[in-house]
């Protein structure tokens, strides 16, 4: 009898816990458009029959619990996009699940990994100010430890500051943006002039040059990645949106560092574990280890005509892609049903 009672108590406790978690995720209907105005919302637009939506549901409940318990101003909701198709269309929902953060008149799409930590980080970043102040050296050092890539505006009022704030409002979905006085920076950092936009990454810092780098938005979009990455499906999709060309190889870190001035404007360096993903993408066989250059913006890829064994050969191969002498091959991501079912976000590539 005692055992039965204990089981019943455990069952009741579990049910209460589940109810408490679900209470932090609000079911939304067609009145949402009018009631949402004064709040910041993180919304999952789903379809009841969607397998990815069902897989996201327990993660979404954890997101609601985490944001509520941390005191975040972000309210978490979910909407059946098939039942409220008109409302979903107004928010630009074209696939399931679609995650959006709604802040005033702005709507920010989430395209990252569907994990609790990644989604919570996105919500925390986007719900706050587009540009955060770094008032002290201690705060600067703290942020350097937390972030692999750090953008900072240094200086007073200026036209470039206005552009920086506009870019931050646009690209905060991907990374944080900060502002600081020159005194906050380490003594080893010397800026050519003020005001300046600086990115700290890869153990160094790089300053935006309006004449050499073009638009600030394009420069930030390119520099928000580390010089050398481990690439997966989500990273490859994000890189595709920058319009750059991407390389993977096990020993190209030297080229990424030593030839930054030559190739940084056009290439993103990185590596990918195994060859399954890349083989499915190009519908071919790439041996391991190997090097391949992908341009996902126009579905092109390049393979060296002979094995690359030295840095000089790698530099020559990259240069041949830049000057147009390398042989172009084509892949078609929209022809991969398996890829699309696993990574539906790649439909837009």
Spatial CB neighbours of 134, under 8 Å, sequence gap ≥ 6? 140, 143, 152, 178, 179, 180, 184
Spatial CB neighbours of 72, under 8 Å, sequence gap ≥ 6? 123, 124, 127
Measured over the CA atoms of residue 65, residue 69, residue 70 and residue 72, the dihedral's sign is positive
CA distances from 96 to 45, 48, 119, 176, 345 (A): 7, 10, 16, 27, 10
Ramachandran assignment for 274, one of left (phi > 0), alpha (psi -120 to 50 degrees), beta (any other): left
Which residue matches tokens 């936009």?
Answer: 197
H-run or E-run covering 260: helix 260-263
| Cα separation, 255 vs 265, whole angstroms | 14
Catalytic sites, residue numbers: 50, 53
CA distances from 117 to 63, 64, 121, 180, 314 (A): 8, 12, 6, 28, 37
Q: How many CA atoms lie within 13 A of 156 on its CB side?
A: 0
H-run or E-run covering 109: strand 106-110
Closest alpha carbon to 180 in 194, 201, 162, 163? 194
Spatial CB neighbours of 241, under 8 Å, sequence gap ≥ 6? 221
Angle between helices 116-127 and 51-69 (to 10 degrees): 60
């Amino acid at each position: 009898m005692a055992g039965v009672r204990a089981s019943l108590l455990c069952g009741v406790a579990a049910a209460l816990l589940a109810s408490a978690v679900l209470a932090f995720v609000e079911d939304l209907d067609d009145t949402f458009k009018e009631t949402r105005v004064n709040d910041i919302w993180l919304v999952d637009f789903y379809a009841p029959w969607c397998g990815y939506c069902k897989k996201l549901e327990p993660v979404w409940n954890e997101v609601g619990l985490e944001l509520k318990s941390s005191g975040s101003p972000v309210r978490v909701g979910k909407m059946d996009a098939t039942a409220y198709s008109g409302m979903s269309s107004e928010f630009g929902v074209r696939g399931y699940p679609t995650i959006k953060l709604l802040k005033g008149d702005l709507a920010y799409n989430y395209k990252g990994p569907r994990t609790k930590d990644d989604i919570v980080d996105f919500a925390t970043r986007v719900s706050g100010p587009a540009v955060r102040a770094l008032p002290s050296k201690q705060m600067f050092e703290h942020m350097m430890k937390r972030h692999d890539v750090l953008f900072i505006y240094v200086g007073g009022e200026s036209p470039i500051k206005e552009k920086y704030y506009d870019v931050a409002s646009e690209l905060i979905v991907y990374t944080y943006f900060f502002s600081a006085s020159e005194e906050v920076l380490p003594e080893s950092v010397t800026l050519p002039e003020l005001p300046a936009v600086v990115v700290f990454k890869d153990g160094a810092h790089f300053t935006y040059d309006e004449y050499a780098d073009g638009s600030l938005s394009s420069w930030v979009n390119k520099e928000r990645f580390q010089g050398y990455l481990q690439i997966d499906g989500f990273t490859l999709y994000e890189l595709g949106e920058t319009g750059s060309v991407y390389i993977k190889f096990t020993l190209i870190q030297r080229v990424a560092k030593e030839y930054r001035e030559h190739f940084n404007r056009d290439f993103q360096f990185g590596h990918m574990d195994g060859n399954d993903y890349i083989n499915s993408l190009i519908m071919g066989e790439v041996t391991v280890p190997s090097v391949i250059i992908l341009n996902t913006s126009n579905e092109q890829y390049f393979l060296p005509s002979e094995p690359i064994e030295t840095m000089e050969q790698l530099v020559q191969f990259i240069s041949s892609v830049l000057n147009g002498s390398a042989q172009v091959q084509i892949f078609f991501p929209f022809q991969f049903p398996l890829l699309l079912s696993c990574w539906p976000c790649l439909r837009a590539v």
